[in-house]
Structure 1
């Protein structure tokens, strides 16, 4: 292969890389401007994560409630099951309902989505104790962690079945910058 062909291939690959990266960035910015957002209430976070300087681990009220059900029962009871059977589940949905401030409130755990009105289904994975909902950490500029200690809510959007974290909010729902 000649040097000119190699140079052209390198240039084409770089252009493709920039196009894909740009498209991905535009898609992420689109999520931030979406009107389909809601808030998840944060529960106390491990303060050691703040000391690391560039991210903090997030914990949510809905995850605590889901973990409590999973841990205490070892299995998950789905109240929609007509036979009152206990359903073993490693993946499923945390079902929430929004209050007047668009804060998600835990309703139940479910193995499947249903068409019940007013409910939102957030996909989760569990190892039998821990629950993962894909929005468990927040990255920020090193040295700015102190201001995020007052975070009470995370603003999220649901894309497919997965959450996309937009930003963190204080008790008055104001963005922490």
Structure 2
């Protein structure tokens, strides 16, 4: 009996892990591209390798516009321009979105607004490729779930190690 229970739990865990991987890959491939203006803050971490800690202008706008929010988690609505750059429009109130709008999930932790992630990790020694970062590139699902997929420069071009 005990072996079957362990086997069943193991299979359930593998199924959950595979579902999570599949949903993230689907988001990466099919999510809507949204660029968020950023301000890098602490560019290195000796304990975790090289990374850029990120703070997004949208988070600052949300804090200014919304003030004290009753719920620590929710959705905001971004308006996208022709370059797919998102600007804070309003908190989501359930209204249908216009063609140039997208929902984005946010969390408030320790008084800080978090959007998907607060760091972008890269291979050790590759920091020079990301020094000019001005935008975070996200893939966003219809439900507001987001995945940071890269960084872009002031001219909206992707940054990173050149392909071989």
Name the TM-score, length of structure 1 as normaliser.
Answer: 0.67
The aligned residue for residue 36 of structure 2 is 40
How far apart, in 2, do the equivalents of 1:54 and 1:13 lie? Answer: 36
Structural RMSD (CA): 3.1
Q: Is the 8 A contact 1:90 1:128 kept in 2?
A: no
Segments of structure 2 that go 5 or more residues without pairing to the other structure are none
Pick the structure with more strand per residue.
Answer: 2
Query: Match of 2:95?
Result: 114
List runs of 5+ in structure 1 lacking aligned partners: 76-87
CA deviation string 1:82-121 (max 9, x = no partner): xxxxxx42243222111001111121x3253311413212
The 1:57/1:176 distance shift into structure 2, 3 A limit, reads same
Relative to structure 1, is the Cα distance of residues 124 and 46 closer, same or farther in structure 2, using a 3 angstrom cutoff?
same
Q: Distance in 2 between matches of 1:23 and 1:116?
A: 28
Where 1:58 maps in the other structure, the secondary structure is strand
**Higher alpha-carbon Rg:** 1
Normalized per residue, which structure has more helix?
1
Scaled by the length of structure 2, the TM-score of the pair is 0.71
| Secondary structure of 1:106's aligned partner | strand
Query: After superposition, what is the alpha-carbon deviation per residue over 1:12-47, rounded to whole angstroms, capped at 9, x for unaligned?
Result: 99898777666654543433332621211112x213
For residue 144 of structure 2, what is the aligned residue in structure 1?
161
